[in-house]
Amino acid sequence: MYRTLAGLCLVVSCVSTAIAAPTVTLYGTAQISPTADPARPFVFDVASAQNPFTAGAVGFTPSSPLTFGAITQLSADYNAQLGQFGGGSPRFSIGLDVNNNNSIDGFAFIYFGTHPNFNDAPPLNTWLNTGNLRNAVSVDTSQLPGGAFYDFNAFTNFAAANVLDIYLVVDGGWNGSDRFFFDNIRINNDLITGASLVPEPASIGVWSVLGLAGVAYRWRRKRAT
């Protein structure tokens, strides 16, 4: 089901902390970093580079059942420190269970930036907001049965699918190094900030389930055709 590069299995250390809702996990390069801004004393800091390839993600696990169609708010504040949008990064990757077996059948990808290329170059060191991505022009549902790279009715087509995890991903380093700060991540009524989390040591996480490099691979193939 996942179109990942053959043999890919990235094992990364992570930290996890449980808050009221949802549970938040940091993968790869993702960390919580202090800033000099009193309004944002801590932010999510995620980077990606090419050689060696590195990437990161902030993962969210809903604390109560949530369907894809029930997502009404999905947004984040972001601050580009290095690089720009492109190659499917940054994005929200939403793991969906379409057959009610409590297993992810594929991801719906909601890319930052302007449809159809999603390669905006936001000003550096400037806080901006994605706007509500529930209203995104298109969603990439190509990993899902009957899906499409540009799915203009994704929230209707997969309304009944269960959301098992949501990831905020930065993995465009194959196309040039990137680094982004994130804050005020909104998932429906939940607002997650860097300042609200106190990380605790956690176990090693296997990253291949996120399909991270698979997105870069698909974007390379798309641009080559």
Phi and psi torsions of 4, nearest 5°: -105, 165
Continuous segment of H or E residues that includes residue 58 = strand 56-61
Record the pTM: 0.83
pLDDT tops 60 at residue 89: yes
DSSP of 175-200: GS-EEEEEEEEEETTEEE-GGG---E
> What does the pLDDT read at residue 175?
85
* Span 121-178, pLDDT tens digits: 999 999 999 999 999 999 999 999 999 999 999 999 999 999 999 999 999 999 889 9
Continuous segment of H or E residues that includes residue 218 = helix 212-224
Continuous segment of H or E residues that includes residue 154 = helix 154-157
> What does the pLDDT read at residue 10?
31
Which domains does the chain possess? 11-224 (2.60.120)
* Span 65-87, pLDDT tens digits: 999 999 999 999 999 999 999 99
Q: Do the beta carbons of residue 175 and residue 63 sit within 8 Å?
A: no
Q: Do the beta carbons of residue 180 and residue 78 sit within 8 Å?
A: yes
Q: In which band, very low, low, confident or very high, does the pLDDT at 21 lie, cut at 50, 70 and 90?
A: low
Distances (CA, A) of 15 to 117, 126, 203: 33, 27, 7
